[in-house]
Amino acid sequence: MNLIAIIFPKTKTFLKYLLLITVYTCAVVWFDDHYFPRHMFFEAKELMTTTSIVIGLLLAFRTNSAYDRWWEGRKLWGQLVNEIRNFCLKCNTLLNSEQMENISQLLIAFPYILKNHLRGGATNLDGLKVDEAALSGKNAPLHIAQTIESILQQWKRDKAIDGFDLLFLDTHARSLMDITGSCERILKSPIAPSYKYIIWLWLILYLLVLPWLLTPVLDLYTIPAMIFGAYFIFALELLAEEVEEPFGTNPADLPLDSICETIKSSIHQIIKISHKH
């Protein structure tokens, strides 16, 4: 993971904002030249203290709201790992090698398809025996889940499994769409834009006024003080913007590629152990 991207969320935007506030602070220090009366700083001290507390609370609430979305997404993908593992384990005890091969390909493909679906990218299933043409222009996770349900019903008709086996397996199959629906809810229900605009307005006004109040007291030390303060303010806000959309490719987003590989290796391990016995 890129250390720069971790320290500076949305690196280009972050550095641009930090550069702007640095240039602005330098201009204030140069222009002020102690013409800003000291007594005004002390008169505004209580107001700025109150404003700082309000901004701190807003940023804390903003960060918590964004992190809740990230954490819910992580729990859903953790559940997906468990459901697919359990589904594969149960199928492995009931089915022959040919049937197991067919269902395992679909179970491996599902997380990759869901990942691409959430990221809005094309479905790429190189090496997997899944008809990509059949997924074109469709809700691909829904199509795979429907295919799995159809296979379960066919096994029941062929008496490869009985009614109780179908009931147990169907629980895991249905969970695939439950997880997909929950992920889509996170993806398509962003935090209200008006709330974010209000926070940005507060931050901008606060950072525009603060150097005028600090310069009469700190003089040139206002510049590093503003850079230090602006870093944490911008870092928290931009990090919140990253994690509130947890299914992307930013460093702070969920490691979906790694989770997909974990599911794939787990299924291969289950099949390999079965073949040994």
Identify whether the C-beta of residue 197 lies closer than 8 Å to the C-beta of residue 14: no
In a domain, 199, yes or no: no
Q: What is the rounded average pLDDT for all residues in the chain?
A: 82
pLDDT, average across residues 144-155: 91
In a domain, 41, yes or no: yes
In a domain, 72, yes or no: yes
Is it the case that residue 33 has pLDDT exceeding 70?
no
Give the lowest-confidence range in 35-44, 118-127, 225-234.
35-44
In a domain, 177, yes or no: yes
Task: Compute the distance between CA of residue 18 and CA of residue 164 in angstroms, rounded to an integer.
Answer: 62
Q: Which residues, 6+ apart, have CB-to-CB distance to 217 below 8 Å? A: 38, 41
Is it the case that residue 73 has pLDDT exceeding 80?
yes
Q: Which residue has the tokens 């030249």?
A: 33
pLDDT, average across residues 35-51: 61
Please give the pLDDT value at position 261: 94
In a domain, 210, yes or no: no
Please give the pLDDT value at position 40: 54
Please give the pLDDT value at position 56: 83
Domain residues for the domain of 80 are 34-190+245-276
pTM above 0.85, yes or no: no
Q: Which residues, 6+ apart, have CB-to-CB distance to 129 below 8 Å? A: 102, 105
In a domain, 94, yes or no: yes
In a domain, 265, yes or no: yes
Instruction: Count how many domains the chain has.
Output: 1
Query: Residue 134 CA to chain centroid, in angstroms?
Result: 29
Nearest to 73 by CA among 181, 193, 196, 192: 181
- Give residue 238's pLDDT band: very low, low, confident or very high (50, 70, 90): confident
Please give the pLDDT value at position 237: 86
